[in-house]
Amino acid sequence: MASTIPLEDMGDYVNQNKETFDRLGTSATEVEELDHMAKLALPGFQMLLAGGRVLDVGCGVGIDSLRLKRHMLDVQGLDISEVMLAEAKRLVAGVPFWQGDFRALPFEPDSFDGVWANGSLFYVTTADLRQTLQEVRRILKTGGVFFASYLQGEDEFYRNSLYHRCYRPEELEQYYREAGFKTFDQSLETSGNKYVCILAVK
């Protein structure tokens, strides 16, 4: 049952999220809906790319990493869960996968032409999302492309021991502007307008 959690009672929510993903794997996420969004978003994302080096942030077991690879992109994946990364390495040959925190991405500035974050950034608080956006911008080359999908709404809650934060489109637009991104209208058909999808350029 979802419930609102006061921030002061959350403790180390990132570590709790990690432990939950280690335990539940892909059963913790709505894989079919995220797969649907990936299919719709990828053509626009790829059209804007000036080069092929892409980071899949929150790659999980590598489902989207494999999709990006099949579209001839030079993809790397990053996730906080070693258990899910071990499965990604087994399922997706020839792709480097890294363990790391969204808030401090372990890459040099201007390292990637694109960053892909499908269904991963709504697991962080608003403050941590704003820090993550700064990190994404830092590792993107000038003109680099950034795609991300978020739960739509105004709540924060735990489900299956995972912290979730929902966002209104105008709220996300503000955070992206503050981080120095130019955003594009990204209207994707999702069930009941459950998700907000944003395509942006550094």
What ranges do the domains of the chain cover? 11-194
Mean of pLDDT values over 94-118: 97
pLDDT for residue 12: 86
Please give the average per-residue pLDDT across 67-80, as a whole number: 97
When pLDDT is cut at 50, 70 and 90, the band that residue 161 belongs to is confident
Strands 195-201 and 140-151: antiparallel
Per DSSP bridges, beta strands 97-99 and 74-79 are parallel
Q: Domain 11-194 carries which CATH code? A: 3.40.50.150
pLDDT confidence bin for 64, thresholds 50/70/90: very high
Cα–Cα distance between 35 and 189 in angstroms, integer? 12
Query: How far is residue 105's CA from residue 132's CA, in Å, rounded to a whole number?
Result: 8
- CA dist., res. 27 & res. 143, Å (int): 35
Name the pTM for this structure. 0.91
